[in-house]
């Protein structure tokens, strides 16, 4: 399929108070017609700057932006305005005109698109129905909820039948339930109207739900891109791994840590339709070890699952033979699952300590103390 | 006391009318030209529009230069100019010209800050629709800035009312003139008190009406 958007080696440099900030460094990507392309990364990674280049709200310092294969980097004036009419933009902060009604906000875009005055109200009504807000035409934005405001801004972005919709953290200011609604709406716009969507977010829940393909950014560089499932099932770059880790997370419940019996703590990851329970019980009975499931989680990316299990493998037999049983069991697990990671003390501590792991340091310290006591 | 009533009956109407015309004309001129300057200042500063440091600096300098003169000094400086334009500067028309020239840069800064307070995100959204500059200013920036704009007009009117008394002292008429001529020069304390009360009431009324209006346009 042909690329509708191409960023070709683009960089953006800001000069601010004597400092030079490279917001985007030599980024290249292609978005295909009709897909939902996501850009994820921690805040400050340069995602917003990158997406703003697509409609030239931000001009690249170097590199080229192509829409439908046409170089638009140098567009100005009328031709640039025409291009922008075919690219909708949805913002995190909604950015509605507060002192104008919902209807007037949408009519603003229609007027920009050259829709004659007589037809604007009808079209506004149509757009409001599309986003599920008919009846709100004459309300002011201040009387709407966050989700409703975002629906208005989606309606505004769709006013001139754009082929591309850019979403900059469009759900980040919304609660979980509202986010679901907005994502469902965007998905529908994508499939029913065939609008290509570029969506940037730091929320992996969003990525998981609607992205076909994804690019991961860090410090202005695209560090990884590909099909969403592949990128998250097999993250190569450590930032992607951190993002995925935060999302799929080890998260051994803090309360449990001090109570853990002696054993080897292992995180297993599997993807696709791997049946897991039979493996656990088979390994357990084959090697005569106790396998305790401490934590389990399955996340679906589209229709494909990625599962995570944290298990504690403990010997049943005493002494050397028991230890050998555990080694054998771990070997079999290692050979069968897709991701195998033994959680050493340090790993647990790090998981609990890191901003993504959640728990306070004391929990890990507690565990250490308990283990020391056991050893004594 | 009957003198006071006599003086007020004879002169207050005309004085009030002169003040109102001077302040009215100056406000209109100040708002129109001040807004125009504010738009220039705003557009040449905003990254999304037409940043132009040179124009911004030059216009900003002129605005600041006029604003840096105390009104009384501006007035004295302007007398020859006004004389050249309309002949006799010591008339309400002369006063109106002087007030207008003071009002333009005053309001320009107020309007500029009203525009600058508009959320830059809103500008991005408006620019993203492909709207031309004029539509963005009239349809997005202006409605958002309107409440501050109205409060700015109120501030301007009240300041001009104060300045108009100074115009009065050089003989251009108005209630300031009345207060000085009778209340101060001829020791008619009653006239002075009446005018003070009138001014206090007038300012309260203008402020109240302006606040209500500003609120009406805030949603």
pLDDT at B10: 86
How far is the alpha carbon of B119 from chain A, nearest alpha carbon, in Å? Answer: 8
- Going by pLDDT thresholds of 50, 70 and 90, the confidence category of residue A1 is low
How many C-alpha atoms does A295 have within 13 Å on its Cβ side?
18
Q: Using the beta-carbon criterion (under 8 Å), do B129 and A93 form an inter-chain contact?
A: no
CA–CA distance, A232 with A244 (Å, rounded to integer) = 6
Show the tokens assigned to B68: 């840096």
* Among A200-214, A220-234, A339-353, B74-88, the least confident range: A339-353
Pairing verdict, β A19-32 and A3-16? antiparallel
Could you name the CATH architecture of A249-375? 2-Layer Sandwich (3.30)
Q: Kindly give, in sequence order, each residue whose CB lies less than 8 Å from that of residue A124, ignoring residues fewer than 6 positions away.
A: A103, A106, A107, A110, A137, A155
Is A198 an interface residue toward B (CB < 8 Å)? Answer: no
How confident is the model at residue A255, as a pLDDT?
A: 61
Q: How confident is the model at residue A4 (pLDDT cuts 50, 70, 90)?
A: very high
Tell if the CB–CB gap between A100 and B130 is shorter than 8 Å: no
The answer for residues whose C-beta is within 8 angstroms of residue B20's C-beta and 6 or more apart is none
Q: How confident is the model at residue A365 (pLDDT cuts 50, 70, 90)?
A: very low
Q: Are A316 and A323 in contact (CB under 8 A)?
A: no
A–B CB contacts, 8 A cutoff, strictly below: 81
DSSP per-residue codes, A42-66? STTSSHHHHHHTTTTSS--SEEEEE
Measured between CA atoms, the residue of chain B closest to residue A110 is B129
* B122, B124, B130: residue with CB nearest A113: B130
Contact status, residue A289 vs residue A329, Cβ threshold 8 Å: yes
Decide if B125 and A84 are in contact by the 8 Å CB cutoff: no
pLDDT at A273: 67
> Residue A249: its pLDDT value, please?
65
pLDDT in tens, B168-193: 777 778 888 888 888 888 888 888 89
Summarize pLDDT for A196-206 with one digit per residue, the tens. 999 999 888 88
Residue A356's pLDDT band, with cuts at 50, 70 and 90, is very low
Find out whether A268 and A292 touch, Cβ atoms under 8 Å. Answer: no
Rounded mean pLDDT of B156-167?
A: 91
- Give the model's pLDDT for residue A121: 94
Using an 8 Å CB-CB cutoff, list chain B residues near A113: 129-130
Buried b / exposed e over A88-110, threshold 16 CB at 10 Å, is bbbbbbbbbbbbbbbbbbbbbbb
Mean pLDDT of A187-192: 94
- Per the model's pLDDT, the better-predicted residue between A296 and A179 turns out to be A179
Torsion of CA B37, B39, B44, B49, to 10 degrees: -170
CB-CB neighbors (< 8 A) of A77 in chain B: none
Work out the minimum CA distance from A222 to partner chain B, whole angstroms.
Answer: 24
d(CA B161, CA A149) in angstroms, rounded, equals: 43
- Poorest-confidence range of A15-19, A322-326, B107-111, B214-218? A15-19
A152: helix, strand or coil: helix
Tell me the average pLDDT of chain A.
Answer: 85
A79 touches chain B (CB under 8 A): no
Domain assignment of residue B15, given as a range: 2-216
**pLDDT at residue A351 tops 80:** no
The verdict on A124 touching B (C-beta cutoff 8 Å) is no
Cβ separation B128–A87 shorter than 8 A? yes
Nearest to A99 among B121, B128, B218 (CB): B218
Burial class (CB in 10 A: 0-12, 13-18, 19+), B52: middle
Question: Has residue B132 got a pLDDT over 90?
Answer: yes
Residue with tokens 């302006």: B210
What are the tens digits of pLDDT across the range A120-144? 999 999 999 999 999 999 999 999 9
- DSSP letters spanning A251-267: ---GGGGGGPPSSEEEE
pLDDT computed for residue B103 by the predictor: 96
Q: Is A272 or A369 the better-scoring residue by pLDDT?
A: A272
Among B123, B176, B202, B117, smallest CA distance to B152 is for B117
Is ipTM > 0.90 here?
A: no
Instruction: Let me know: does A90 contact B119? Beta carbons within 8 Å.
Output: no
Angle between helix axes B142-167 and B92-116 (nearest 10 degrees) is 150
pLDDT at position A340 is 85
A3-17, A199-213, A245-259, B151-165, range with the lowest pLDDT = A245-259
Instruction: Report chain A's terminal Cα–Cα distance, integer Å.
Output: 65
Lowest-pLDDT range of A54-63, A142-151, B175-184: B175-184
Burial class of residue A25 (count of CB atoms within 10 Å of its CB; 0-12, 13-18, 19+)? middle
- Kindly report, as residue ranges, where domains of CATH 3.30.70.260 are found in chain A: 249-375
Count structural domains, chain B: 1
| Segments of chain A assigned to CATH 3.40.50.300 | 3-244
Residue predicted with more confidence, A365 or A207: A207
Mention the CATH class of domain A3-244.
Answer: alpha beta
Rounded average pLDDT over B126-149? 94
Strands (DSSP E) along chain A, which ranges? 3-16, 19-32, 36-40, 62-67, 70-71, 87-91, 164-168, 196-201, 213-218, 221-227, 264-271, 289-301, 304-315, 339-342
The pLDDT of residue B84 is above 70: yes
Percent of chain A predicted with pLDDT > 90: 52
Band of residue A242 on the pLDDT scale cut at 50, 70, 90: confident
Cα separation, A182 vs A321, in Å, equals: 57
Q: Which two tokens stand for residue A257?
A: 């840590």
The whole-number pLDDT of residue B210 equals 95
CATH code for the domain in which residue B65 is found: 1.10.3720.10
Do B121 and A95 make contact, defined as CB atoms within 8 angstroms?
yes
Please give the average per-residue pLDDT across A47-74, as a whole number: 94
Output the pLDDT for position A265: 85
Q: Give the three-state DSSP class for B167.
A: helix
The predicted-structure confidence for A303-334, as pLDDT tens digits, reads as follows 778 888 888 898 888 888 888 999 999 998 88
CB contact under 8 A, B132 and A81: yes
């Amino acid at each position: 399929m042909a690329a509708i958007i191409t960023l070709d080696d683009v960089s953006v440099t800001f000069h601010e108070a004597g400092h030079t900030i490279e917001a985007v460094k030599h980024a290249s990507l292609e978005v295909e017609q009709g897909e939902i392309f996501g850009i994820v990364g921690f805040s400050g990674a340069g995602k917003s700057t990158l997406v703003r280049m697509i409609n030239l709200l931000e001009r690249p310092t170097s590199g080229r932006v192509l829409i439908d294969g046409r170089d638009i980097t140098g567009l100005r004036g009328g031709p640039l305005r025409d291009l922008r009419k075919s690219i909708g933009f949805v913002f995190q902060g909604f950015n509605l005109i507060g002192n104008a009604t919902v209807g007037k906000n949408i009519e603003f875009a229609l007027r920009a698109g050259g829709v004659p005055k007589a037809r604007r109200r009808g079209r506004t009504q149509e757009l409001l129905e599309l986003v599920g807000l008919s009846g709100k035409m004459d309300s002011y934005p201040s009387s709407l909820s966050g989700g409703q405001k975002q629906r208005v801004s989606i309606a505004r972005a769709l006013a001139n039948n754009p082929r591309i919709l850019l979403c900059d953290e469009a759900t980040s200011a919304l609660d979980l339930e509202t986010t679901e609604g907005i994502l469902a709406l965007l998905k529908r716009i994508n499939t029913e109207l065939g609008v290509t969507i570029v969506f940037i977010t730091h929320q992996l829940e969003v990525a998981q739900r609607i992205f076909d393909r994804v690019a991961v950014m860090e410090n202005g560089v695209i560090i990884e891109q590909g099909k969403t499932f592949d990128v998250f099932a097999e993250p190569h770059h450590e930032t992607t791994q951190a993002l995925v880790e935060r999302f799929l997370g080890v998260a051994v419940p803090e309360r449990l840590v001090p109570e853990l019996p002696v054993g080897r703590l292992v995180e297993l990851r599997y993807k696709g339709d791997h049946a897991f329970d039979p493996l656990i019980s088979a390994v357990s009975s084959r090697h005569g070890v106790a396998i305790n499931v401490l934590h389990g989680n399955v996340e679906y990316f589209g229709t494909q699952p990625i599962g995570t299990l944290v298990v504690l493998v403990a010997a049943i037999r005493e002494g050397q033979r028991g230890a050998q049983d555990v080694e054998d069991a771990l070997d079999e697990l290692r050979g069968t699952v897709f991701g195998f990671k033994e959680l050493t003390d340090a790993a647990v501590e790090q998981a609990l300590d890191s901003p993504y792991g959640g728990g306070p340091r004391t929990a890990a310290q507690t565990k250490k103390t308990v283990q020391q006591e056991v050893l004594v | 006391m009957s003198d006071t009533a006599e003086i007020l009956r004879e002169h207050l109407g005309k004085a009030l009318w002169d003040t109102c015309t001077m302040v009215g004309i100056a406000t209109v001129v100040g708002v129109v030209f001040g807004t125009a300057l504010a738009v220039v200042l705003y557009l040449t500063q905003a990254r999304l529009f037409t940043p132009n440091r040179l124009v911004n600096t030059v216009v900003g300098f002129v605005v600041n230069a006029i604003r840096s003169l105390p009104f009384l000094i501006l007035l004295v400086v302007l007398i020859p100019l006004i004389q050249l334009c309309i002949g006799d500067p010591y008339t309400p028309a002369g006063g109106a010209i002087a007030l207008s020239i003071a009002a333009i840069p005053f309001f320009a800064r107020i309007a500029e800050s009203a525009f600058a307070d508009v959320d830059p995100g809103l500008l991005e959204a408006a620019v993203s629709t492909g709207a031309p500059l004029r539509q963005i200013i009239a349809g997005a920036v202006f409605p958002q800035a309107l409440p501050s704009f109205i409060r700015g007009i109120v501030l301007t009117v009240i300041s001009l009312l104060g300045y108009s008394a100074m115009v009065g002292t050089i003989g251009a008429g108005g209630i300031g003139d009345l207060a000085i001529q009778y209340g101060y020069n001829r020791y008619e304390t009653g006239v002075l008190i009446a005018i003070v009360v009138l001014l206090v009431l007038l300012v309260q009324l203008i402020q109240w009406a302006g606040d209500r209006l500003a609120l009406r346009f805030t949603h």
